[in-house]
Amino acid sequence: MAVSWLQRLAARAAVPVFPVRGMHGEEVLYRLALTPGIKLVDSPRHASILLVAGGVPPDQHDALRRVHDQLPGPFATLWYRSEPLDELAGATRLDDPDALPEALKTIHRELMSGKRGSSPRLLPDEPPNPWEGLGDDGHGGKGMMGGVPYGRPMAMNMTDDIRDGLTLDSLTVTLGPFLPMLPPGLTAEVTLQGDLIQSWTTHSAPYPIALESVFFQALQGPVPIAELERARARYHLKRLHFALRLAGLDRLALEALRLAFAPHPGQDRAMALRRRLVRCGFFRLTTTGRGRLDENQARRVGGIAARAPGLEEDLRSRDAAYRRLEFTPIIQGGADTNARWCQTLAEIEQALQLADQAERDAVHTQRSDGVETPRGPWHEQWPEEASDLLDDLLPGLEWDEAMSTLASLDLAPLSPWSLEETSGAPVPTSVEERRA
Amino acid sequence: MDYPLIVDVFFVLLATLAVVSGWRVFATDSMVRASFFLLVSFIAVGVIMILLAAEYLGVAMFFMMAVEMMVMAIFMVMFMMNPAGLNPMMMVHQHKFSIAAGAAVFLVLATVALLAEFPDSPLPADLDPVASLGDELLGDSMLIFESAGIVLLTTMIGVVVLSSHRGRYGAADEGSMPPGLVPGGDPAGMPEEDDEGDGHHHCH
Amino acid sequence: MELLTLFFIVLIATGLGLLIQWLPMRHQPMPTYPQRAPFLGGGLPETHAWSRFHVRYYPMTLLLIAFEMEMMFMYPWAVVFVEQGMKAVMEMGMFLAILSVGIVYGWREGVFKWQ
Amino acid sequence: MIVSELILPVALVIGVLVVGAYLVAVLDEAIAGAIGMPRGGSAWLAPLTQGAWLLTQHANATEAPDWQAWRLAPALYLALAAIGLAVVPFSPTLIPTDLVTSVVLWGSVEALATVVIFLHGWSANTLLALIGAYRYVALGLSYILISMFVLIGVALPAESLQFSQVVTSQEGLWNVIRQPLGLPLFLIVGLGMTFWGPLNLADSRDLAGGTASAVSGPPRLVWNLARAAMLVAFSGAAASAFLGGWLGPWLPGPVWMLLKMLAVLAVLLLIGRLVPRLQPERCVTLMWVVFLPLSFVDLIWAGAAAFFL
Amino acid sequence: MTLVTLLLLAAALIGIGFYGALSQQSFVMLMMGLELILNGVMLAAVAFWALSGAGAPEGQLLTIVVMAVMAIEMAMGFALVVAVFRTNQADVTEGITELKH
């Protein structure tokens, strides 16, 4: 009976969930991060449930199958607002974000007690290359470096090193689209020498990010500035959450998220957050002076990345209502990771302060020919998707530097749907009209 | 000097471990395993030293060798083809001669050990090996101690000069790089390289 | 006797570590090949990860070996420090001076930076 | 005699190690809850349920791992933690292994831990684990000198390399006051040895778990257990080197010792939750250029204090 | 555990090290052979110190000096390997001769 006792205990564990971040699936994961009893893990090996949050484009179904098969058994899948793969037609599907935590816990319990079987393997049990019984030693190898020992070729030197002139082996891998450190949907072919990135070729752009509907309404007519600015702060805080989690600051990451979900986030709380970040050494220990954008790149990325190096590009300064609130764009002096985070925090504070002011006087925007989204200016055209500049930016960076640079850059395109649409809230009619 | 039986038992075990892992160093394909087999051999010898009452030297052997073998492993992996031994390989020359030479050395030394007469004078009972070593270092052998310090400083400077690529005066091998690798005289890896982003010299 | 105790402690700890792994794993099937593939978020590696890995801090490790050797001398020195008095102090001064020169030199040459 | 010299010390070390590792997990959970992480269920139960889940989860494998090294590494890490704890004295008479050079042996445990952690990441043969392993070596080779200087500092007044002598030498004044720089520097070593919190370069989140990214099930349980056990062993060393070990009024020696270990653990776990992870290159520079010279200062201070205090 | 058995063990280690140092093509593997030889030497030195030298401190000192030699050999050796490799992209012993130009 020892086993069943063990299983009962295991059923009460915090549910380890590996999230596959599909299109528009981010929002529910932020909520899960704040839910007790659920643990979002970084590696599929550490999970008992694969949560596919949001749709996955068909050309990435193969990658999804690979990740699915990498969970050690027993495991189950849950599809949140996502169509299960054909082979898994019977898998649990769910559209209600409020029911999600409970569903995850139930699945985990059922899995542990044996009521629910493990999800089947989707890919054939074959090595990447046949090797058994082949080659000089029966393991697929030939000579010293040849063949496919144990199914894979050996790493060879491809390119000269870009830093110190020692030409050693380089490792070429494709990363993504579901690597938890990368923006969801980004895939790239990366060559590393040691822990240094030699070359980076972006294959597919990150999934589009949905803005709150107030940004869409701002293009239709006047909207309350308070609402607009709070939405802006929320957007930045969610990105900050991601970066802080990456830096191992779980507590402040959740603080940022709580601030984002607070009904009336005050400027004082944002300032407190910034002070705590400074005090714990985030700017001195983690963010780096790497990942520097030149002026063209900064302009292309737009938004925070443009204002951090000092380009005073902000559509808000053209709006008389903003001018009445004494708005001036904040700028920093640098184009690196550090400056971008300083800029982000400063803009969060500024947005919350503007929101408070604007709420007092009930100020509305006056111009509706363009809106400054958190991602950059949007009037005649969208903020451009700019993930291909990573190809120039990341080579030469150490892995950790590269990841923190990636987290500090917001390169994803904007979704034509608003956040409320994609996460199930009633769709405001104005947006419907705009799309039609 | 007579040791209790348990010491003899452990000595035999450790001696076997030291020799077997010493031999495995040259018989394994994986470079990482080779260096850590050497580490095991060192640790076994270190434990024997502790059994011989050289408690400081034995333990010092652990930390010295752990660090040295770690570094050894790093360099082995860096510079050997097929470092993990995924394909079995034999990178030896004059193999038969070497085996013979090794065996000959062993035999000569073993003969010496067996035939020569050594005085039998064990450690005095009241000896504190660590303190005696300390006194020696600060007393009669001060010169060795001092010169070791200087030699080690020289070594530090030597390794930095030889191995470091970037320095105050730019890349160490500037001018010796094959042409075409770094166009425009912009050696990759200059200190405080600011132009990480422009990437014009990156290989694709 | 102390060594015997230590030996048993090591033996039991290692045994415990291996047993906890081995007992539940006895009956588990070998994972399938797709499961065994390295996790890269859905991506795939072209080659084995084992390679001539380009370590970026190798000058630092060489500096460390020389440093560590000096530490060999310092432990016996520490034991007789109080007893030897001024001589030991001078000795320490010399050692620290040498080590400081080593560090400062290495730092100026960028040894602690990723190469 | 066998009981008092063999069975009792062995049982003590293994017991403290396992119970201590459990307490580390509970304490970490409690601290996480106290500083505002979402918490479900009781902190006392969480490590047990997590452990039970890991026991039921299947062990992962990689395509061509170095099997022996991969399975041995967690067990050896646990064994190193046991050695580390074995040299720690719990009272003048209750010392599992009272080696004359126990302080040096502790330094060796640190050096060997680097080897074992590297092996854990290397043997998996996957990219992210490999990067984690190499990154850890940069850290492991940097903190070891700091630890040696700091420990030589405490050996000076004791005129011995034995932990029990080090504790006895603190009867007048604890080393934490006599050598104020010592304990903070030594805590860095503790975080490094267990790659905890800010020094988690081996199993960090930007590597999806680093050296542990490819392990699951029972091997991962042993790895986590060993990591917590190493933290316990470190707290034992720190408590006897700087906080006067078993010394203290009213309570019996071993109780004092355990209390001090808990205090050190609490501080370490709190630092682990509050400070962000260091960027590797900056970490190495920081260790060599800031903390190492500080440990020189600590040694000079300790030398002067040994004469005058 | 007698002096003779200790010396036999030392001889065995030296023998294996000798084989390694002579047979290995790669410079780093060659250094492993040297290390193994020094390992035997250190063991012999300690054995003499403990069983035949009446605890004369020179015995211990000799071991430390051997260890220092080992450390210096290793540090310089690897530094040389790096320097050679940087110019030649090779690490076999034959490559060293080319360091002259």
pLDDT digit string, tens, across residues A204-227: 889 888 888 888 888 888 888 888
Q: How much is the average pLDDT of B69-73?
A: 92
CA distance C112 to chain A (A): 14
Cβ atoms within 10 Å of E47's Cβ, excluding its own: 27
**Is position A245 within any domain?**
yes
Residue pairs spanning A and D at CB distance below 8 A: 161
List chain C residues with CB under 8 Å of E72.
66, 69
| CB-count burial class (<10 Å; 0-12, 13-18, 19+) for B119 | exposed
User: What pLDDT sits at residue D80?
Assistant: 94
Alpha-carbon distances of D90 from A196, D110, D150, rounded to whole Å: 46, 21, 21
User: What pLDDT sits at residue D245?
Assistant: 83
User: What pLDDT sits at residue E59?
Assistant: 81
| 3-class DSSP assignment, residue D35 | coil
- Whether B33 sits inside 8 A of D69 (CB atoms) is yes
D102-122 vs D218-242: helix axis angle to the nearest 10? 160
Tell me the pLDDT of chain D averaged across its residues: 89
User: What pLDDT sits at residue D105?
Assistant: 92
Residue pairs spanning B and D at CB distance below 8 A: 64
User: What pLDDT sits at residue D81?
Assistant: 94
For A329-339, b/e burial (b = at least 16 CB within 10 A) is bbbbebbbbbb
**Is position A126 within any domain?**
no
Q: Find the domain containing A85 and state its range.
A: 2-113
- Whether B59 sits inside 8 A of D140 (CB atoms) is no
Chains in contact with C, where contact requires at least 3 CB pairs less than 8 Å apart = A, B, D, E
**What does the alpha-carbon distance between residue D80 and residue C13 come to, in Å, rounded to a whole number?**
8
**What does the alpha-carbon distance between residue A427 and residue A180 come to, in Å, rounded to a whole number?**
30
- Whether D100 sits inside 8 A of B55 (CB atoms) is yes
Tell me the pLDDT of chain A averaged across its residues: 84
User: What pLDDT sits at residue E88?
Assistant: 67
Peptide bond into A72 cis (omega under 30): no
Taking only residues 122 to 161 of chain B, the set having a beta carbon closer than 8 angstroms to any beta carbon of chain E reads 122-124, 127, 129, 132-133, 135-137, 141, 144, 148, 151-152, 155, 158-159, 161
Q: Does residue D39 register a pLDDT over 50?
A: yes
Are B82 and E3 contacting, i.e. CB atoms less than 8 angstroms apart? no
- Whether B144 sits inside 8 A of E83 (CB atoms) is no
- C86 at the B interface (CB within 8 A)? no
Do A179 and A232 sit in the same domain of this protein?
no
For C68-98, b/e burial (b = at least 16 CB within 10 A) is bbbbbbbbbbbbbbeebeeebeebbeebbeb
- D125 at the C interface (CB within 8 A)? yes
**What does the alpha-carbon distance between residue D205 and residue A180 come to, in Å, rounded to a whole number?**
9
- A129 at the B interface (CB within 8 A)? no
Q: How confident is the model at residue E90 (pLDDT cuts 50, 70, 90)?
A: low
Name the DSSP letter for residue A138: S
Higher pLDDT, A167 or E12: E12
User: What pLDDT sits at residue A429?
Assistant: 38
List chain A residues with CB under 8 Å of E86.
164-166
Query: Considering CB atoms only, which of B77, B131, B164 is closest to C53?
Result: B77
Tell me the pLDDT of chain C averaged across its residues: 86
**What does the alpha-carbon distance between residue E90 and residue B79 come to, in Å, rounded to a whole number?**
8
Alpha-carbon distances of C114 from A401, B166, D137, D284, rounded to whole Å: 12, 10, 13, 9
**Domain boundary pick from A155, A182, A204:** A204
Of chain B, the percentage scoring pLDDT greater than 90 comes to: 20
Q: How much is the average pLDDT of B39-56?
A: 91
Do A182 and A243 sit in the same domain of this protein?
no
- Whether A167 sits inside 8 A of E82 (CB atoms) is no
Q: How confident is the model at residue E60 (pLDDT cuts 50, 70, 90)?
A: confident
Q: How much is the average pLDDT of A102-126?
A: 88
List chain A residues with CB under 8 Å of C38.
173
Taking only residues 83 to 122 of chain B, the set having a beta carbon closer than 8 angstroms to any beta carbon of chain A reads 86-89
Residues belonging to chain E: 101
**Is position A124 within any domain?**
no
User: What pLDDT sits at residue D309?
Assistant: 67
pLDDT digit string, tens, across residues A358-389: 888 888 888 777 888 888 888 777 777 788 88
- D129 at the A interface (CB within 8 A)? no
CA distance C26 to chain B (A): 26
- Whether D82 sits inside 8 A of C38 (CB atoms) is no
Taking only residues 181 to 200 of chain B, the set having a beta carbon closer than 8 angstroms to any beta carbon of chain E reads none
Q: Does residue A19 register a pLDDT over 90?
A: yes
| CB-count burial class (<10 Å; 0-12, 13-18, 19+) for D254 | middle
Do A189 and A235 sit in the same domain of this protein?
no
Q: How much is the average pLDDT of A125-145?
A: 80
Q: Which of D8, D46, D41 is nearest to D24 (CA)?
A: D46
**Is position A316 within any domain?**
yes
Report the complex ipTM. 0.90
Are C2 and D100 contacting, i.e. CB atoms less than 8 angstroms apart? no
Q: Does residue C70 register a pLDDT over 50?
A: yes
Q: How confident is the model at residue D222 (pLDDT cuts 50, 70, 90)?
A: very high
Are D128 and D210 contacting, i.e. CB atoms less than 8 angstroms apart? yes
pLDDT digit string, tens, across residues E31-40: 889 999 999 9
Q: How much is the average pLDDT of D17-31?
A: 91
Are A49 and A75 contacting, i.e. CB atoms less than 8 angstroms apart? yes
- Whether A149 sits inside 8 A of B165 (CB atoms) is no
- Whether A167 sits inside 8 A of E89 (CB atoms) is yes
- Whether B166 sits inside 8 A of C63 (CB atoms) is no
List chain D residues with CB under 8 Å of A39.
none
- D42 at the A interface (CB within 8 A)? no
Residue type (1 letter), E88: N
Taking only residues 68 to 107 of chain C, the set having a beta carbon closer than 8 angstroms to any beta carbon of chain E reads 68-69, 72-73
- D207 at the A interface (CB within 8 A)? yes
Do A227 and A296 sit in the same domain of this protein?
yes
- Whether C68 sits inside 8 A of D145 (CB atoms) is yes
**Is position A131 within any domain?**
no
User: What pLDDT sits at residue A319?
Assistant: 83
- Whether C37 sits inside 8 A of A151 (CB atoms) is no
- A374 at the B interface (CB within 8 A)? no
- Whether E79 sits inside 8 A of B61 (CB atoms) is no
- Whether B62 sits inside 8 A of D108 (CB atoms) is yes
User: What pLDDT sits at residue A295?
Assistant: 84
Q: How confident is the model at residue B179 (pLDDT cuts 50, 70, 90)?
A: very low
**Is position A398 within any domain?**
yes
Q: Does residue A10 register a pLDDT over 70?
A: yes
Q: Is the dihedral of CA B90, B95, B99, B105 positive or negative?
A: negative
Are A296 and A368 contacting, i.e. CB atoms less than 8 angstroms apart? no
User: What pLDDT sits at residue D137?
Assistant: 93
- Whether B130 sits inside 8 A of D161 (CB atoms) is yes
Q: Does residue A401 register a pLDDT over 80?
A: yes
Q: Does residue A286 register a pLDDT over 90?
A: no
- C7 at the D interface (CB within 8 A)? no
Higher pLDDT, B91 or C19: C19
Tally the domains of chain A.
3
- For B170, nearest residue in chain C (alpha carbons): C109
Q: Select from C21, C32, C44, C74 the residue whose CB has the most chain D CBs within 10 Å, as the one to mutate to test that interface.
A: C21
- B132 at the D interface (CB within 8 A)? no
Residue D173 has which token pair?
Answer: 């004044």
Q: Does residue B165 register a pLDDT over 80?
A: no
Peptide bond into A101 cis (omega under 30): no
CA distance E36 to chain A (A): 26
Enclosing H/E stretch for A94: strand A92-94
Query: Considering CB atoms only, which of C62, C66, C72 is closest to E67?
Result: C72
User: What pLDDT sits at residue B197?
Assistant: 34
**What does the alpha-carbon distance between residue A349 and residue D278 come to, in Å, rounded to a whole number?**
26
Q: Does residue D213 register a pLDDT over 80?
A: yes
Cβ atoms within 10 Å of A369's Cβ, excluding its own: 9
Q: Does residue B181 register a pLDDT over 50?
A: no
- B59 at the D interface (CB within 8 A)? yes
User: What pLDDT sits at residue A104?
Assistant: 92
User: What pLDDT sits at residue B166?
Assistant: 57
Q: Do chains D and E touch (3 or more CB pairs under 8 A)?
A: no
Cβ atoms within 10 Å of B91's Cβ, excluding its own: 15
**What does the alpha-carbon distance between residue E60 and residue C79 come to, in Å, rounded to a whole number?**
15
User: What pLDDT sits at residue A129?
Assistant: 83
Of chain D, the percentage scoring pLDDT greater than 70 comes to: 99
- Whether A6 sits inside 8 A of D55 (CB atoms) is yes
D218-242 vs D46-56: helix axis angle to the nearest 10? 140
CA distance B137 to chain C (A): 7
Enclosing H/E stretch for A192: strand A187-193
User: What pLDDT sits at residue A424?
Assistant: 58
Report chain C residues touching chain A, CB-CB < 8 A: 31-35, 37-56, 114-115
Q: Select from C84, C112, C113, C114 the residue whose CB has the most chain D CBs within 10 Å, as the one to mutate to test that interface.
A: C112
Cross-strand partners of A202: A188
- For C34, nearest residue in chain A (alpha carbons): A69
CA distance A396 to chain B (A): 7
Do A213 and A198 sit in the same domain of this protein?
no
User: What pLDDT sits at residue A3?
Assistant: 60
User: What pLDDT sits at residue D38?
Assistant: 77
Choice among B44-48, B85-89, D159-163, E35-39 with the minimum mean pLDDT = B85-89
Q: How much is the average pLDDT of E12-27?
A: 88
**What does the alpha-carbon distance between residue C12 and residue D79 come to, in Å, rounded to a whole number?**
8
Q: How confident is the model at residue B195 (pLDDT cuts 50, 70, 90)?
A: very low
Q: Does residue E80 register a pLDDT over 80?
A: yes
Cross-strand partners of A55: A23
Do A195 and A305 sit in the same domain of this protein?
no
User: What pLDDT sits at residue D73?
Assistant: 93
Of chain A, the percentage scoring pLDDT greater than 90 comes to: 14
Taking only residues 149 to 208 of chain D, the set having a beta carbon closer than 8 angstroms to any beta carbon of chain C reads 152, 155-157, 159-161, 208
Cβ atoms within 10 Å of B112's Cβ, excluding its own: 11
Domains in chain E, start-ordered, CATH in brackets? 3-100 (1.10.287.3510)
Place of tokens 């000192």: E61
Cross-strand partners of A52: A20, A79
Residue B37 has which token pair?
Answer: 């087999």
User: What pLDDT sits at residue A427?
Assistant: 40
- For A167, nearest residue in chain E (alpha carbons): E89
- Whether A150 sits inside 8 A of C44 (CB atoms) is no
* Contact residues for A276 (Cβ-Cβ < 8 A; gap 6+): A252, A255
Q: Does residue A250 register a pLDDT over 80?
A: yes
